[in-house]
Structure 1
């Protein structure tokens, strides 16, 4: 299975798995029942479902309460991993790029299960990964930014022009949380998603200001 955010990194990881002849049996995405949106990117659940349908993959929704503490989150993910192990799944693929603490955390959760982790993009230069994603023909829109990047980037197409405009210190893949994207077309899409830009919202989470674009 593949941990799925709907963004560019997850899409590139999926592309790599498909091209290697080893596609996942299912995608899973964490979200909030209260908001009906994904956890990190704030994308409407319906769009994530439409995205998975366009890619031809089953999608599992994992609801985590908006105010859940870490113990609740880990219990939910462990139940998910146990269920997949019982179904005969052997690996979980993640689109993490280089943050060791995130990988260590995932490996700790996997340690109590028979599942192994797989990182199709791990350790590769993020500038090269960003340009590979674009050159493959995928299309993505920036849907969330922090003040490290700024709200002027909301709604922009993730393309070479955007990469050239990124301020110094902002990772080209946003691996430090500077921005998130939603992918709506590309090589393995059976059809492009018809999206429109809605309102923008600003929220402070864990002392960091996030600006969101509501895609419809």
Structure 2
């Protein structure tokens, strides 16, 4: 019997590969992609991708998009409350499982499991504990295509923004950068591959750089760079 499942969709390579695994597996019914969007900016909260581009991407995949809209600067309490509200709506609609593309961040996995356990939804982690270099190689060999849309400036130079992922590009990463950016070194936008009905047509726009307070040390800031992605006209 198929498990009614929704996918926590980031729009990047890890989500795309995890979705590919599960669609190929065939015993899980995935009929909804869920993404957290900043309602003030109309952008994906995680890495600033425009909502219009996200919508074009999910249309190209062919699975309906659902969103959780958060305010401009949500607190963790606000985020948790909005997530819980949405999850309870999905449970009422018959969903029993949810998918995440996490690979090896133990604290994040425990946080997700602790959040979903009392809500009666079972999280699934298809990429968990897989070698990140091998995952990126598989991603590229399968014909997936993605570009870097966000970097942590302390880990990668701005020249990496807007670059398409490749084995050659991976070899240029500094030694302390995970091949899949699992520690937040970079985020990606996937625009083509075996889960797509057709590639997403887009253009790379201007680069934007911003600084945020470090949650673990308020005296320091974290600087990020974004490449603005626009739909091709």
TM more than 0.5: yes
Q: Is the contact made by 2:16 and 2:195 (CA closer than 8 Å) also made in structure 1?
A: no
* Alignment match, 1:17: 22
**Residue 106 of structure 1: SS of its match in structure 2?**
helix
**Residue 202 of structure 2: SS of its match in structure 1?**
coil
| Aligned-pair Cα RMSD in Å | 0.8
Q: d(CA) in 1 for partners of 2:29 and 2:190?
A: 18
* Alignment match, 1:167: 174
* Alignment match, 2:183: 176
Higher strand share: 2
Given candidates 184, 187, 190, the residue that maps to 2:197 is 190
* Alignment match, 1:7: 12
**Are 2:217 and 1:210 equivalent residues in the alignment?**
no
Deviates more, 1:16-25 or 1:26-35: 16-25
Structure 2 unaligned spans of 5+: 1-5, 215-220
* Alignment match, 2:143: 137
Q: Is the contact made by 1:14 and 1:23 (CA closer than 8 Å) also made in structure 2?
A: no
**Residue 210 of structure 1: SS of its match in structure 2?**
strand
Q: Is the contact made by 2:103 and 2:127 (CA closer than 8 Å) also made in structure 1?
A: yes
Q: Is the contact made by 1:126 and 1:173 (CA closer than 8 Å) also made in structure 2?
A: yes
CA shift, 1:23, in A, is 4.2
Given candidates 53, 66, 71, the residue that maps to 1:65 is 71
**Residue 196 of structure 1: SS of its match in structure 2?**
strand
Q: Which runs of 4+ in 1 moved over 2 A?
A: none
**Residue 158 of structure 1: SS of its match in structure 2?**
coil
What is the number of residues matched between the two proteins? 216
CA shift, 1:121, in A, is 0.3
* Alignment match, 2:109: 103
With the length of structure 1 as denominator, give the TM-score of the two structures. Answer: 0.98
